[in-house]
Amino acid sequence: MEKIVLLALVLTSLLFAKSATQICKKCHPIIVEEFEGSMHKNSSIYDDAIHKAVWDIHPLKAKDNYVCAQCHIPNAKNEEEAKEGITCVSCHTIKNVEEHASVNKNVYSKDKKTFYSTEAGREGEKVVYKKESSLFGMNKSSVGSPYHDIDYTNEKFQNAKMCLGCHSHRQNSNEFMICETSKEGAKNKEENCITCHMPKVEGTTTTIKKTQKHSFHGFAGARKNPQLLSEYVGLDFKKSSNGFEITIDNKAPHDLMLHPLRVVELRVNLLQNNNITQLKRHSFVKVIGNEEGPSMPWLANRVLVDSMLKSKEKRSISYETALKSGDKIEVQLGYFVVNPKALKKLNLEENEDAKKFTILKQQHFTVE
Ligand code: HEC
Ligand code: HEC
Ligand code: HEC
Ligand code: HEC
Ligand code: HEC
């Protein structure tokens, strides 16, 4: 009985709710809260100052042709919706991904009340919520959602190919590939974009049907929650005849960083006789540009430097610093989301997120 009253309350309050996300919040509060802090939610020029900074100097801005919409504010029909960024409904109604040379395209289903999802063991199911019968028969065994239907049969949610409409690649008008995520990470159920970037974390999926865990909707990445990805980067230390070697193991099935603005840096500090010495820093970047040097993506026609850590690569860096027993080595692998050399051009010199160095992985070693 209590459940029926609760449900009636929820359904009534839905009528007065503002955006679709506010509706989802009634029954998926944990997921919505995580999502509010994610870069998917904050992907518009209203919330992402770095995205805005690049758009502000983009040649298409003068023509008011916001081509970024396709991925940064999909399906938004007005400014109010644009402020929502990427929405729950957009993602959960991706039916298919069309592959194209310049940029892929999401095919959305027309039915905005049936959501695609995936759950181990339910791959063949389509859950249709029958209002009349279930409203009054609501008990522990009832399935489905009283707000929407669920379709678990879309294979692209099982192998993460649904992420590739926006994340696969992009060419500029010179037919030059400005960024590319290897498809390697969207091949199977066992390890893919979803298992790494949306790991299972504590807390229930819905308030109606309690579960121990749910898929993290804060989308761990370079801007938000990078600590959830540090397990996919390994650091190792080995003494050599004239110094030592640090090995970085990138366990991701794509370049460690993907956006051309990023710079990865290896920092090593040596603690010897109570003195801390900062050793030479090593950067890993993919710099794009043209005959005149580094450039913004729309002007690029070549790769100038590519020292980025590649998919599943183990890279060793040598240091010619003599070590003795008892010395301690502190190793940090981190990154800048905006190449410090591009801060000025983008007017981001005052932006803390753009300037800060984020440590992805840190480890200490003691020389034997
Ligand atoms: C009135 C409550 C209610 C509202 C509102 C609601 N849901 Fe649900 N949703 C549920 C329930 C209950 C389930 C679990 C169904 C099951 O496991 O059989 C569910 C399941 C889901 C699933 C599939 C979960 C899985 O098992 O993989 C998705 C995706 C989903 N909801 C998305 C949304 C989105 C997006 C919104 C907002 C537009 C929303 N829901 C609004 C109750 C609700
Ligand atoms: C509708 C397009 C779209 C889809 C579909 C999409 N993304 Fe994204 N994703 C984006 C955009 C745009 C950004 C960058 C937002 C920004 O920084 O302004 C982004 C950013 C990210 C980031 C970086 C977050 C950070 O904090 O740096 C990760 C990780 C990510 N997406 C993973 C995924 C995964 C996994 C999937 C599939 C489940 C997916 N995305 C599906 C458009 C999309
Ligand atoms: C094909 C889909 C797509 C289109 C179109 C697109 N982006 Fe993005 N954008 C992404 C994805 C995916 C990410 C996240 C990549 C990552 O974190 O490596 C992203 C990230 C960014 C970032 C980094 C933001 C951050 O949080 O640091 C900037 C800047 C950016 N995009 C600018 C633009 C601009 C400007 C346009 C339009 C001229 C545009 N993008 C068009 C998919 C797209
Ligand atoms: C084995 C785990 C793993 C898998 C699988 C994986 N990634 Fe990643 N991803 C990482 C790690 C590690 C990083 C780097 C750490 C960070 O960005 O905080 C990363 C970073 C990213 C970023 C941010 C890069 C940037 O430059 O801002 C995006 C976007 C992303 N991955 C998307 C994807 C997509 C899309 C897929 C599926 C095709 C995928 N990842 C598969 C581990 C993984
Ligand atoms: C970038 C794409 C994307 C966006 C945006 C997104 N989801 Fe999801 N969601 C997924 C994927 C992929 C899964 C399946 C993950 C898995 O393997 O369990 C999922 C799973 C779910 C589930 C089932 C969770 C579980 O633990 O099994 C629910 C419920 C859900 N989403 C609701 C929402 C709501 C509500 C929003 C908006 C606040 C939202 N999603 C936004 C991609 C997205």
**Residue spans per domain, the chain:** 2-36+87-215, 226-366
Going by alpha carbons, the residue nearest to atom 21 of ligand 3 is: 51
**172 class by beta-carbon count within 10 Å (0-12 exposed, 13-18 middle, 19+ buried):** middle
Q: How far apart are the first and last CA of the chain?
A: 68
> Which ligand lies nearest the alpha carbon of 190?
4
Task: Report CA 127 to chain centroid distance, whole Å.
Answer: 29
The highest-level CATH class for domain 226-366 is: mainly beta
User: Is residue 145 pLDDT above 70, yes or no?
Assistant: yes
Going by alpha carbons, the residue nearest to atom 9 of ligand 1 is: 145
Q: Could you identify the residue written with the tokens 């066992």? A: 190
Confidence of residue 20 (pLDDT cuts 50, 70, 90): confident
Please give the number of the atom of ligand 3 that sits closest to the Cα of 179: 18
Going by alpha carbons, the residue nearest to atom 6 of ligand 3 is: 68
In this structure, what token pair is assigned to residue 19?
């955006």
The confidence score (pLDDT) of residue 18 equals 60
Find out whether the beta carbon of 257 lies less than 6 Å from any atom of ligand 4.
yes
Q: Which residues line ligand 1 (CB under 6 A)?
A: 10, 20, 23-24, 26-28, 88-89, 92, 115, 117, 119, 127, 143-148, 150, 205-206, 208-209
Buried b (16+ CB within 10 A) or exposed e, 46-79: eebbbbebbbeebeeeeeeebebeebbbbbbeee
The confidence score (pLDDT) of residue 10 equals 53
| Cα distances (Å, whole numbers) of residue 342 to 28, 263, 302 | 40, 11, 18
Confidence of residue 140 (pLDDT cuts 50, 70, 90): very low
User: Is residue 236 pLDDT above 70, yes or no?
Assistant: yes
> What is the arithmetic mean of pLDDT over 232-256?
97
Confidence of residue 180 (pLDDT cuts 50, 70, 90): very high
CA dist., res. 90 & res. 92, Å (int):
6
Mean pLDDT of the chain: 92
φ, ψ of residue 255 in degrees (nearest 5): -50, 145
Q: Ligand 1 pocket test: which of 19, 28, 108, 149 has the largest number of ligand atoms within 8 Å of its C-beta?
A: 28
* C-beta separation of 231 from 197 below 8 A: no
> Which ligand lies nearest the alpha carbon of 253?
4
Find out whether the beta carbon of 28 lies less than 6 Å from any atom of ligand 5.
yes
> What is the arithmetic mean of pLDDT over 343-354?
98
Question: pTM of this prediction?
Answer: 0.95
User: Is residue 353 pLDDT above 90, yes or no?
Assistant: yes
Question: How large a percentage of the chain has pLDDT more than 90?
Answer: 86
Q: Could you identify the residue written with the tokens 């696969």? A: 168
Out of 7-16, 65-74, 141-150, least confident range: 7-16
The confidence score (pLDDT) of residue 17 equals 44
> What is the arithmetic mean of pLDDT over 280-284?
98
Q: Could you identify the residue written with the tokens 């609760």? A: 6
> What is the arithmetic mean of pLDDT over 250-274?
97
Q: Ligand 3 pocket test: which of 46, 48, 63, 72 has the largest number of ligand atoms within 8 Å of its C-beta?
A: 72
The residues, any chain, with a CB within 8 Å of residue 9's CB and separated by 6 or more, are none
Q: For the chain, give the number of residues.
A: 368
User: Is residue 2 pLDDT above 80, yes or no?
Assistant: no
> What is the arithmetic mean of pLDDT over 188-202?
97
Please give the number of the atom of ligand 5 that sits closest to the Cα of 25: 35
Going by alpha carbons, the residue nearest to atom 38 of ligand 3 is: 68
Going by alpha carbons, the residue nearest to atom 20 of ligand 1 is: 145
The confidence score (pLDDT) of residue 147 equals 86
CA dist., res. 194 & res. 81, Å (int):
26
User: What spacing in Å lies between the alpha carbon of 55 and ligand 3's midpoint?
Assistant: 10
* C-beta separation of 200 from 191 below 8 A: no
The residues, any chain, with a CB within 8 Å of residue 350's CB and separated by 6 or more, are none
CA dist., res. 66 & res. 78, Å (int):
13
Torsion sign across C-alpha atoms 297, 299, 301, 307: negative
User: What spacing in Å lies between the alpha carbon of 109 and ligand 5's midpoint?
Assistant: 16
Confidence of residue 141 (pLDDT cuts 50, 70, 90): very low
Find out whether the beta carbon of 285 lies less than 6 Å from any atom of ligand 4.
no
* C-beta separation of 89 from 112 below 8 A: yes
